[in-house]
Chain A
Amino acid sequence: AQSVTQLDSHVSVSEGTPVLLRCNYSSSYSPSLFWYVQHPNKGLQLLLKYTSAATLVKGINGFEAEFKKSETSFHLTKPSAHMSDAAEYFCVVTLYSSASKIIFGSGTRLSIRP
């Protein structure tokens, strides 16, 4: 069975400090992994994706994530948080057989303290 676990429902950091949002997955197959961001009253925007190429993936707005197969993790990081990063973040795994199967994590709300 496939699943995605976001280990923190809420993360709060000070502006200018590093951000770490944790995601673990379970999959019998080689998955594709994504991080999406959702700002208040907005749709989901793709931050970055891993599709079996380089294990360190760089995304938009200074975010990056590292795929670690041995740890079944795909944690999202950013060296220095900005106030505009405050949003909900979703880790997503997809499996491609005859049709796409998408599994969402429960989301992590990121708050930024001035």
Chain B
Amino acid sequence: EAGVAQSPRYKIIEKRQSVAFWCNPISGHATLYWYQQILGQGPKLLIQFQNNGVVDDSQLPKDRFSAERLKGVDSTLKIQPAKLEDSAVYLCASSGVLSGNTIYFGEGSWLTVV
């Protein structure tokens, strides 16, 4: 079974630039999550999708972060404009009924803002 795919794995940008991360969840998983993990901390949920609808985006900084999952499959997370404090790993995860609602994570996209 293919896992959760994320790209790019690494990105370095200057502050005020924009960046986009892509995620392809495990096939058939209805729920998709984006997490932000700052070095030395646990993951923080940014946004959760159920199919192509948003379930929870209460911790998403909506003035600069946006995410979409147009066809209920893959998803894109965008940051514009980036700030220094956005330097983190952005983890995508997915879950589905067929896998017992266990959450599976991708390898992460590592962002450094300079």
Q: Looking across the interface, which residue of chain A has its beta carbon closest to that of B3?
A: A43
Q: Are B42 and A46 in contact (CB under 8 A)?
A: no
Q: Are A106 and B42 in contact (CB under 8 A)?
A: yes
Q: Does B107 contact A (CB under 8 A)?
A: yes
Main DSSP-derived SS at the A contact region: strand
Contact string against B for A residues 97-114, beta-carbon threshold 8 Å, 1 for contact and 0 otherwise: 001101011110000000
Number of interface residues of A (CB under 8 A): 22
- When distances are taken between beta carbons in the complex, the residues of chain B under 8 Å from A82 are none
- When distances are taken between beta carbons in the complex, the residues of chain A under 8 Å from B110 are 41
Partner of B48, one of A32, A41, A92, A99: A99
Q: Does A42 contact B (CB under 8 A)?
A: yes
Number of interface residues of B (CB under 8 A): 24
Residues 82-114 of B at the A interface (beta carbon under 8 Å): 91, 93, 95, 100-108, 110
Q: Looking across the interface, which residue of chain B has its beta carbon closest to that of A44?
A: B105
A-B contact count (CB 8 A): 50
- When distances are taken between beta carbons in the complex, the residues of chain B under 8 Å from A74 are none
Q: Does B20 contact A (CB under 8 A)?
A: no
Q: Are A44 and B43 in contact (CB under 8 A)?
A: yes
Least Cβ–Cβ distance between A25 and chain B, in angstroms: 15
Least Cβ–Cβ distance between A114 and chain B, in angstroms: 24
- When distances are taken between beta carbons in the complex, the residues of chain B under 8 Å from A105 are 42
- When distances are taken between beta carbons in the complex, the residues of chain B under 8 Å from A43 are 4, 91, 105-108
- When distances are taken between beta carbons in the complex, the residues of chain A under 8 Å from B45 are 102
Q: Are A99 and B55 in contact (CB under 8 A)?
A: yes
Q: How far, in angstroms, from A49 to B102 measured CA to CA in the complex?
A: 8
Q: Looking across the interface, which residue of chain B has its beta carbon closest to that of A49?
A: B102
Q: Does A94 contact B (CB under 8 A)?
A: yes
Residue among A34, A43, A45, A46 having the largest count of chain B Cβ atoms under 10 Å: A43
13 A-B contacts (beta carbon < 8 Å): A41-B110, A43-B105, A43-B106, A46-B104, A49-B102, A94-B101, A100-B48, A100-B103, A102-B103, A104-B42, A106-B42, A107-B41, A107-B42
